[in-house]
């Protein structure tokens, strides 16, 4: 039951949380495994978080996600005597009565005392864990108190306010020490408050992600860039997207490429945009946004030679892997015309059914297939003509419409 973290855990925290852009995440993971096997409960606690996904650790590390392993490690950290492990287990709903009885602590108050010593000693990860105790009301379980422990509701509410508000200072200390995750809970604390106990203070949340971005955290740089984009500060946003991309943040090269592809905050540069999309796809071959925009680049020959086969490949990857409907109009055109893929009217009709906007060429394709009974639909010239008319001045629709006429009895038929 160490009251200071081991040098192995301190180094791992540096590489995983405080200075993650060094790219030493996998080395840190190996270091934690070795320390955990040697009996270091704090190492086991941090290792457990590494398997919990992007809600608990930066996705840029590329750690595997495995909830079963995470739970097993978290239980192990409690049995090994990690106060931080106990508090994380409480927060995760994993501190069962049996596990609590088997922890090498007299009670939860002793656990909290040790965690506070680590936090007061300046350890940002411990400060974050302690902040969560107050933020999520876990102090009630630790102190074994509830509303019945107080003479009236006002006294209970005052007790809650006193303790919940402690999270603010701990989160700030943690954030300034390098634990960027603290910004997320601070943001929630300021923007939403806490029931009728802590009032919202949204003005205090304004610079949280900027602070994290300036401290060099890639995920904060990407979030701050997103915020700047929403404020139409595109040039500043692009600068931070580039920093996030250079730091290895997943999705950031796509964002840089999107800016150059659309001319957001910079002059349009299709060739450079394509390079950015390709960098993103080197990291994740199925990244939705990069697949879609690279597919569009090949569809129109923007920054690359026109290549319908590659356009179809990338757009269909986004559609298949992410159920993305962004590029279904282009996919429908490919399937309908046999561009980069064999003609398949059934696929064309399916893609068109996924469209969320009106388009004259899409109406032409629908009209063509309904009027001729293609794409798995029964021939219905009347419906086909309605779509062809809806396509307006689209030349191919006008030409197709010329093949049909209305009889004296008002029925649409094919001209002989």
134 within domain boundaries: yes
Q: Which residues pair with 406 in a beta bridge?
A: 412
pLDDT per residue as tens digits for the range 251-298: 999 999 999 999 999 999 999 999 999 999 999 999 999 999 999 999
Q: Cα–Cα distance between 47 and 37 in angstroms, integer?
A: 11
Query: Which residue, chain included where needed, has tokens 């971005």?
Result: 213
Contact of 375 with 345, CB cutoff 8 Å: yes
Contact 77, 92 (CB under 8 A): no
Q: Is 122 among the domain residues?
A: yes
- Helices 288-300 and 308-322, interaxial angle, to 10°? 160
Q: pLDDT at position 100, please?
A: 97
> Domain count of the chain?
1
The answer to the question of residue 39 being in a domain is yes
Tens-place pLDDT, residues 2-12 = 479 999 999 99
Tens digit of each residue's pLDDT (9 = 90 or more) over 347-375? 999 999 999 999 999 999 999 999 999 99
User: Which structure tokens are listed for 222?
Assistant: 């990407």
Domain that holds residue 174: 7-209
Query: 19 lies in a domain?
Result: yes
What's the CA gap between 57 and 12, in Å, rounded? 12
Q: Is 318 part of any domain?
A: no
In a domain, 292, yes or no: no
The pLDDT tens digits for 134-191 are: 999 999 999 999 999 999 999 999 999 999 999 999 999 999 999 999 999 999 999 9
pLDDT over threshold 70, residue 1: no
Residue 246 covered by a domain: no
Instruction: Determine the pLDDT at residue 370.
Output: 97
Q: In 10 A of CB 228, how many CB atoms?
A: 22
> How confident is the model at residue 416, as a pLDDT?
77
Query: pTM higher than 0.85, yes or no?
Result: yes
Which residue from 262, 267, 180 is spatially nearest to 224, judged by alpha carbons?
A: 180
What share of the chain has pLDDT > 70, as a percent? 100
pLDDT above 90 covers a percentage of the chain that reads 98
H-type alpha helices, 323-356: 328-337, 345-353
């Amino acid at each position: 039951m160490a009251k200071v973290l081991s040098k192995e855990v301190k180094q791992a925290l540096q590489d995983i949380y405080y200075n993650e852009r060094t790219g030493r995440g996998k080395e840190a993971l190996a270091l934690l495994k070795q320390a955990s096997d040697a009996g270091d409960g704090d190492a086991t606690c941090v290792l457990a978080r590494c398997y919990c996904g992007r809600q608990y650790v930066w996705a840029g590390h590329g750690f595997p996600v495995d909830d079963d392993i995470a739970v097993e490690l978290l239980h192990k950290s409690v049995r090994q005597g990690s106060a931080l492990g106990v508090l994380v287990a409480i927060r995760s709903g994993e501190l069962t009565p049996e596990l609590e009885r088997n922890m090498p602590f007299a009670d939860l108050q002793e656990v909290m005392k040790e965690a506070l010593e680590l936090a007061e000693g300046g350890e940002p990860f411990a400060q974050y864990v302690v902040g969560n105790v107050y933020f999520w009301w876990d102090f009630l379980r630790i102190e074994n108190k509830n509303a019945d422990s107080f003479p009236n509701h006002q006294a209970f509410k005052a007790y809650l306010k006193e303790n919940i508000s402690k999270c603010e200072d701990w989160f700030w200390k943690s954030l300034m020490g390098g634990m960027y995750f603290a910004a997320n809970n601070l943001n929630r604390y300021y923007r939403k408050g806490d029931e009728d106990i802590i009032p919202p203070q949204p003005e205090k949340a304004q610079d949280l992600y900027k602070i994290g971005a300036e401290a060099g955290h890639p995920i904060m740089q990407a979030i701050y860039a997103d915020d700047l984009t929403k404020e139409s500060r595109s040039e500043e946003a692009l600068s931070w997207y580039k920093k996030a991309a250079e730091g290895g943040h997943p999705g950031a090269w796509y964002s840089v490429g999107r800016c150059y592809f659309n001319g957001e905050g910079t002059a349009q540069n299709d060739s450079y945009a394509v390079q950015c999309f390709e960098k993103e796809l080197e990291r994740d071959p199925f990244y939705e946004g990069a697949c879609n925009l690279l597919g569009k680049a090949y569809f129109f020959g923007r920054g690359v030679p026109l290549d319908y086969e590659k356009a179809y490949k990338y757009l269909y990857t986004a559609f298949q892997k992410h159920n993305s409907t962004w590029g279904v109009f282009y996919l429908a055109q490919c399937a309908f015309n046999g561009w980069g893929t064999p003609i398949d009217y059934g696929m064309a009709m399916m893609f068109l059914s996924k469209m969320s906007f009106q388009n004259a060429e899409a109406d032409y394709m629908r009209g063509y297939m309904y009027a001729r009974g293609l794409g798995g639909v029964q021939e219905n010239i009347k419906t086909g003509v309605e779509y062809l008319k809806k396509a307006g001045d689209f030349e191919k629709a006008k030409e197709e419409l010329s093949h049909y006429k209305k009889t004296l009895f008002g029925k649409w038929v094919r001209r002989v």
